[in-house]
Amino acid sequence: MYRMERGLREALRPKYAGFLEAMNAQPGGLKLLAVIRADLLALLGEENLPALRALDGYLKEKLVTWLSPAALTLHHITWDDPASLLEKIVAYEAVHPIRNLIDLKRRLGVGRRCFGYFHPAIPGEPLIFIEVALLKDTAASIQEVLWDDPPTPESEARCALFYSISSTQIFATLSPIPGFMQWLLAKLASQIKLAEAESQDGSLLEGTSSTFRESILFPEEERMIHDAVEHAGGKSGIELLQDILKSSQWVKSDKLSSALKSPLMRLCARYLAREKKRGKALDAVANFHLQNGAMIERINWMADQSEKGIQQSGGIMVNYMYRLENIEEYALSYLGTGLAHTSSNLLQYIEDLIQFLFAQGTVLDSSGLVPETNAEAIRVARSRGVQTIIATGKSRAAVIEVLGKEYFFRLAGCNSLALFYASRVWFVSLRRGGQKLYQKNLDIEVCREALLYSLEHRVALVAFSQDDCYTTFDDNPLVDFFLVYHEPKVRRHKFVFLETPEAISSMLRPHWARRVDGMAQVILIQAQSDVLEVVPLRTSKGNGVKIMLESLCASPDEVMALGDGENDKEMLQLADLLVSCSPMAAR
């Protein structure tokens, strides 16, 4: 059997394997193989052939082994190193180009460090290198790092950009934001396109696009941009912003720079902390630092005034801070939930404070309609950049049906909706469908015991299961309520006890809270004090909020929760939120 396996392995081994391994054993062979793979990747871009993909996969696997971290050595690069090595440092520096020998000597001199990783098989060739500045405090601009005169005495330095030798010091970076301007221009283009479609069709309610209208600019920012542009030509603020950013000439105008600072800093903070790709930071540099345990400390206006810096990020750079006591916690949190930890310095720019509006008495009045004062409050919040989310236990279809589609969409872009059904948690857009975040059935033993309890104590019980409702006694109006609101159709959805408020408070609630501990949740409905719900774990409204916050990578500090009574207050405290119970319009 062993011989068969060995023979099969040998037969499946590609013919070029021996050639590549022999080449790696020769002086300079490893570097040549790296060059070959670079050429191979370029060729694959033109001709994506199976044979080339197989060769690329094999070569990549071998290079990963041959270039493993264990085989690398760390070297402190100084002015005394060979000229050939220093030439490579100058040639390979892609982030902040080295202008001349004086610039190079400064980066290797007092208050500066440069470290590189080398491989024994590629002598004199840095595989990666990092430049470090020793400063008194975190730098706000690259000019400060490259041209501080005189340099900070090393004995006084307490901050090392990228590196430090003492746990009492600060680890920080001053990093580029290479994808910000590309993201922003694409966002502006899509919003302009949607605005044009809306003006032509009159409504986007029936659209199927995955992009929805949002307020990119605040009214004050839009006014400042119009004032700074000499000939607006009837264009909107986002159209003017798009025109301005297509060229880097705007930085030469103090008036334009002043008008753009507020929106660009705010949108850059949003891009770094909120924009995601597969649950992680959209910006590649941000993703690298966040997964290593950094927090986004500060963004700096006009920190990189080079042509490349203006084109990539509008001149903005970012400080990532590594605090030793938080590195592991932040890294695990980011890898698990995608939450980007930010300082208070950054939070001042982030506009998407999340405001939860609870339909029972908060958005709706006693007749089930949205008062104009509440609608206006939502419009004002949206105009200020507040992301407004309505949390409700009703399904998407039911909300649209009950409120009326046209009326609901007059809430000026209130297009996000959190649905907390018992058994399911969804985060949806009224126009775009939704995403299921969590689902759970009731424990079968809990259901069995509830039925026996109902029969023994003669307490009315209604159970919800898929398309059906079951009751131990006479038909109950809750059955009709269930059908009207299209509640979710899981197999063991929830059950409800119907009894007097006194009996629920003194007997049922204490009994079932103890009995289902760790298996289900007991919820007292404040608006209906004669109803006690038992639902699956983590499907209460409070836990639903917590699940949705995790999916949005938002922390409780960014949330203003608006409720209308003790029920909302109790539930939202499960999500670590502070709840305001004053009239909605006043808030």
Lowest-pLDDT choice from 191-200, 307-316, 420-429, 460-469:
420-429
Ordered strands of the 468-471 beta sheet? 468-471, 460-465, 494-498, 531-536, 520-524
* pLDDT reported for residue 355: 59
- pLDDT per residue as tens digits for the range 513-525: 888 887 877 776 6
- 461 contact partners, CB below 8 Å, separation of at least 6: 450, 451, 453, 454, 471, 472, 473, 495, 496, 497, 498
Q: What is the mean pLDDT of the chain?
A: 76
Residue 141 annotated in active site: no
- pLDDT per residue as tens digits for the range 544-582: 777 777 666 666 666 767 766 555 665 666 666 655 555
Which member of 96, 119, 164, 175 is catalytic?
Answer: 175
Lowest-pLDDT choice from 1-15, 324-338, 398-412:
398-412
Mean pLDDT across the stretch 486-507?
Answer: 73
Mean pLDDT across the stretch 81-108?
Answer: 86
Residue 175 annotated in active site: yes
β-partners of residue 117 are 74, 128
Mean pLDDT across the stretch 118-136?
Answer: 85
The whole-angstrom separation of Cα 387 and Cα 351 is: 8
The whole-angstrom separation of Cα 468 and Cα 535 is: 16
Lowest-pLDDT choice from 125-139, 277-291, 333-347, 527-541:
527-541
Q: Strands (DSSP E) along 375-454, which ranges?
A: 387-392, 416-421, 424-429, 433-439
Angle between helices 254-273 and 180-201 (to 10 degrees): 90
- pLDDT per residue as tens digits for the range 234-258: 888 899 999 999 888 899 999 999 9
> Which of 319, 343, 274 is closest to 142 using CA atoms?
319
The whole-angstrom separation of Cα 489 and Cα 1 is: 53
Angle made by CA atoms 399, 400, 401, in degrees to the nearest 5: 90
CB atoms within 10 A of CB 532: 24
- pLDDT per residue as tens digits for the range 216-236: 888 889 999 999 987 878 888
Lowest-pLDDT choice from 10-24, 70-84, 110-124, 520-534:
520-534
Q: What would the two tokens of residue 395 be?
A: 């399904």
- 537 contact partners, CB below 8 Å, separation of at least 6: 440, 518, 519, 520, 521
β-partners of residue 281 are 276
The whole-angstrom separation of Cα 344 and Cα 330 is: 16
The whole-angstrom separation of Cα 562 and Cα 568 is: 8
The shares of helix, strand and coil residues in the chain, as percent rounded to the nearest 5, are 45, 20, 35
* 504 class by beta-carbon count within 10 Å (0-12 exposed, 13-18 middle, 19+ buried): buried
> Which of 242, 230, 248 is closest to 195 using CA atoms?
242
- The CATH classification number of 444-537 equals 3.30.1240.10
- pLDDT per residue as tens digits for the range 440-475: 788 888 888 888 888 888 888 888 776 677 777 765
Which member of 96, 119, 289, 341 is catalytic?
Answer: 289
Q: Please state whether 569 falls in left (phi above 0), alpha (psi between -120 and 50) or beta.
A: alpha
β-partners of residue 199 are none
The reply to whether 444-537 shares the fold of 354-439+543-586 is no
Q: What would the two tokens of residue 243 be?
A: 């025109």
CATH class of 354-439+543-586: alpha beta
Task: Enumerate the H helices of 412-565 as residue ranges.
Answer: 444-457, 477-484, 501-503, 509-515, 541-551
Task: Judge whether residue 321 has pLDDT over 70.
Answer: yes
* pLDDT reported for residue 159: 84
* pLDDT reported for residue 568: 62
Q: What would the two tokens of residue 252 be?
A: 């030469």
Q: How confident is the model at residue 267 (pLDDT cuts 50, 70, 90)?
A: very high
Q: Is 0.85 topped by the overall pTM?
A: no
Task: Judge whether residue 146 has pLDDT over 80.
Answer: no
> Which of 172, 178, 181, 135 is closest to 157 using CA atoms?
135
* pLDDT reported for residue 244: 93
Q: Where are the domains of the chain?
A: 2-67, 71-175, 180-347, 354-439+543-586, 444-537
576 DSSP 8-state letter: T
Domain 180-347, CATH number (from 3.40.630.150, 3.40.50.300, 3.90.1720.10, 3.90.870.10): 3.40.630.150
Specify whether the CB–CB gap between 76 and 115 falls below 8 A: yes
CA atoms in the 13 A half-sphere facing the CB of 166: 7
Domain 71-175, CATH number (from 2.130.10.30, 3.40.50.300, 3.40.630.150, 3.60.10.10): 3.40.630.150
